Amino acid sequence: MTLLSDFTKGLFAENPLFRLVLGLCPALAVTTAAINGLWMGLATTFVLLGSNFLISLLRNVIPENVRIPAYIVVIASFVTIADQFMFAFIPSIHAALGIFVPLIVVNCIILGRAEAFAAKHPLGPSVMDGLGMGVGFTAALLIIASIREIVGAGTFFGVSLFGPNFQPAIMMILPPGGFLTLGILLSLINYWEDRQEQRSRYRRRRLAQEGHHHA
Amino acid sequence: MPEQSLFFLLISSALINNFVLIRFLGLCPFMGISRHLDTSIGMGLAVTFVMTISGAISWIINEYVLIPLDLNFLRTIAFVLVIASLVQLVELVLHKASPGLYQALGIFLPLITTNCAVLGVALLNIQELHSFVESMVFSVGAAVGWTLAIIIFAGIRQRQELVDMPPVLRGFSSAFISVGLLSIAFFGFSGFLSTS
Amino acid sequence: MTLSFILPAIGVLSGLGLLFGILLAYASKRFEVEVDPRTKEIKDALPGLNCAICGFTGCASFADAVVGDEVEITGCTAGGADVAHRLAAIMGLEAPDVEPQKAYVQCGGGIKEVARRFEYVGYADCHLANQVGGGPSACGYGCLGYGSCVPSCPYGLIKINEDGLPEIFLEDCTGCGACVEACPRGVIALLSEKNTPIIACISQDPGKVVRKACSVGCIACKICERVCPQEAISMEGNLAVIDHEKCDNCGICVEKCPTKCILTRQLAVMAAASQQRAV
């Protein structure tokens, strides 16, 4: 049960992008098209899995005072693997993602999970944590990228949705559009959170009232 | 003229292609530190220092070690090693040489390692095929632009703390919308320098 | 498939790693700073919030100052008596005579109880509101309800309730006094935890004025002073004051107060108090 919760917490409760607000640089820079967001998410998931796996395995071996450089070297190695793989097999996506592929090294999510989780937990939970965070991050990237692509270019995964006469809001695929999209999405999440809080408060009050009636 | 193009480079990296507002680099610490003005200034100074020096060292290693040995795929690992070591070194030296500054910067020093703008500058210098001097100018410009953006943004956020706001916009939501507007404002620089 | 890059790759990375490793090892020796081992122990004993209430820039600076004998070990008020005792143990000093205190809100006049003199339009900050014509509240002494105390608490224990009054989660309160400083009207005070009643009013206005402004303020009728068997209540100006040393918590004053401005210690958490008043 806890293995599953290690995975699912990365999807909603501790979604790295919407809740922990980490990994912002790639989240806004590459989400100009849904396909780019998807591949960035997959690459990050791969690196997260690999680094969590290795760091959890080596957690009792790496000395305390060199742990940060050690983690960084591990993460950088996996990033280089992902970088070379994408360069070889999907060169057009690799070109679109640009310097943000090597920048996965300093993606705060990966170093953060390595230090906060993988360094202190055994192999199984660490891998599930990495997987959950990666999938949650990918989903978040897809949401942002889809919105920006549909409104900003009129396409979805390259497929034109509204025909040739559609005037897209180009600002959406420019930097301000990225910031505004994320800001509005975060406000929707705030709204949803408030509704949850209201509902549970209402439920509690009703329960208290019913308690009084019975007494 | 080489001097004019260096000036172009400086203005371009600082304002026209501002690192955080247009290029999306260095966003995590930008959003995290910008709640108070004085901490933002401290972070900006620290970033400027590390960015400039790491840019120089990364360029040298790339030019004289990686390219001759045809080891371009090691660039990421090598650069990140340089940055991590440099930050550690700066921490050590500062702790001894200027304890006041060390205390003032506090935890921001180690945080610079994960600032994607620092690694981004190093990588962009290579991608744009800058010479050594151009790399230095580019790094300084990038750092100045980043610092400028975070100081402006900290000023905005400090005022937003006191304002009556709809509850759905609390926290990072209003912050991101504000950055979006700031980004639009910085687009005004794109017609700044005409090349005619 | 030539793998001729493997050896140079290993060589370069190892070389770089070795070079930086040696450089950093040399630097850590050359730039070594004399660190008293007690400093780390003290830093670990502190709450670690970097709230700066002690006046230093963070827990690390305070720890340095304690070891450097620049500050009293009771300086960390956010840690309270608990931390003071631990620091005394580490430094080998006598345990300080620190009585644990907690922060109590001495006002019951929220939105429902107090009239507004005018509508204040401006930043939602008690300091700023207080400067606009003496504040929008009909009572010139009581809580304004804009919550300037809320961000001052290093533990985040304060929230403004539906009546516009601060509620402090007392269980985790260490009596650091940050909220006391933050309130421009001095509504919050640090009191010992003794189970004695609290007068939820600090108004010095005469009874007639208080009656018009607030439904639960002290009107200086002196009934409490008369009925207290321990003579623990006295009038200071137009406000009743309880001597907590003399009080034995008999509760007579709570019962007899006509405006219900004296609260038992349990009701000192304001939410419960306003419910009680509704009865």
Residue C49 confidence (pLDDT): 77
Residue B195 clears pLDDT 70, i.e. is over it: no
Mean pLDDT of C10-34: 84
pLDDT digits (tens, 9 = 90+) for A162-211: 878 888 888 888 889 999 999 999 999 989 888 887 887 777 777 767 66
Mean pLDDT of B56-74: 87
Q: Which residues of A touch B19 (CB under 8 A)?
A: none
Q: With 0-12 CB in 10 A as exposed, 13-18 as middle and 19+ as buried, what is C56?
A: buried
Lowest mean pLDDT among A173-177, B106-110, B168-172, C171-175: B106-110
R_g of chain C, CA atoms, integer Å: 27
Q: Which residues of B touch A108 (CB under 8 A)?
A: 28, 114
Residue for token pair 């005792």 = C85
In this complex, which chains have at least 3 CB pairs below 8 Å with chain A? B
In this complex, which chains have at least 3 CB pairs below 8 Å with chain C? B
Of B89, B93, B162, the CB nearest to C124: B162
Interface touch A25/B25, C-beta < 8 Å:
yes
DSSP-assigned beta bridge partners for residue C148: none
Q: Work out the minimum CA distance from B119 to partner chain A, whole angstroms.
A: 7
Q: How far is CA C90 from the centre of its chain?
A: 26
What angle is formed at CA A106 by the lines to CA A22 and CA B35, rounded to 5 degrees?
45
What angle is formed at CA C253 by the lines to CA C251 and CA C259, rounded to 5 degrees?
125
User: How many interchain CB pairs under 8 A, A with B?
Assistant: 127
Residue A213 confidence (pLDDT): 53
Residue C276 clears pLDDT 70, i.e. is over it: no
Q: Taking a C-beta distance cutoff of 8 angstroms, is the pair B93, B110 a contact?
A: no
Local confidence band at B151 (pLDDT 50, 70, 90 cut-offs): very high
Q: Give the other-Cβ count within 10 Å of C244's Cβ.
A: 15
C73 vs C126 pLDDT, higher one:
C126
Residue A135 confidence (pLDDT): 94
Interface touch A183/B187, C-beta < 8 Å:
no
Of A73, A178, A194, the CB nearest to B77: A73
- Predicted-complex ipTM score: 0.83
Among A residues 50-69, those touching chain B with beta carbons less than 8 Å apart: 68-69
Q: Work out the minimum CA distance from B79 to partner chain C, whole angstroms.
A: 10
Residue B1 confidence (pLDDT): 43
Most confident of A48-57, B83-92, C70-79, C108-117: A48-57
Q: Work out the minimum CA distance from C77 to partner chain B, whole angstroms.
A: 21
Rounded to 5 degrees, φ, ψ at C160 are -90, 125
Residue C279 confidence (pLDDT): 37
Q: Work out the minimum CA distance from A82 to partner chain B, whole angstroms.
A: 11
Q: Give the other-Cβ count within 10 Å of C86's Cβ.
A: 19
Mean pLDDT of B180-194: 83
pLDDT digits (tens, 9 = 90+) for A66-86: 778 888 889 999 999 999 999
d(CA A67, CA B113): 13
Q: Give the other-Cβ count within 10 Å of C65's Cβ.
A: 18
Mean pLDDT of A28-56: 93
Q: Which of C185, C153, C151, C147 is nearest to C166 (CA)?
A: C147
Q: Touching check for C33 and chain B: CB below 8 Å? A: yes
pLDDT digits (tens, 9 = 90+) for A98-139: 889 999 998 888 988 888 888 888 888 899 999 999 999 999
Size of chain C in residues: 279
pLDDT digits (tens, 9 = 90+) for C106-157: 998 888 889 888 988 888 889 999 988 888 999 999 999 998 999 888 888 8
Query: Whole-prediction pTM value?
Result: 0.71
Residue C28 clears pLDDT 90, i.e. is over it: no
Residue B194 confidence (pLDDT): 56
Residue A64 confidence (pLDDT): 74
Which residue in chain A is spatially nearest to B71 when comparing CA positions?
Answer: A80
Average pLDDT, chain B: 85
Q: What is the DSSP string of B173-184?
A: HHHHHHHHHHHH
Residue C36 clears pLDDT 90, i.e. is over it: no
Of B71, B81, B93, the CB nearest to C5: B71
Q: Which residues of C touch B77 (CB under 8 A)?
A: 13
Of B70, B85, B95, the CB nearest to C20: B85
Residue B70's identity, in one-letter code, is D
* B90's tokens: 């700066």
What is residue B12's DSSP assignment? I
Q: Taking a C-beta distance cutoff of 8 angstroms, is the pair B134, C94 a contact?
A: no
Which residue in chain A is spatially nearest to B110 when comparing CA positions?
Answer: A68
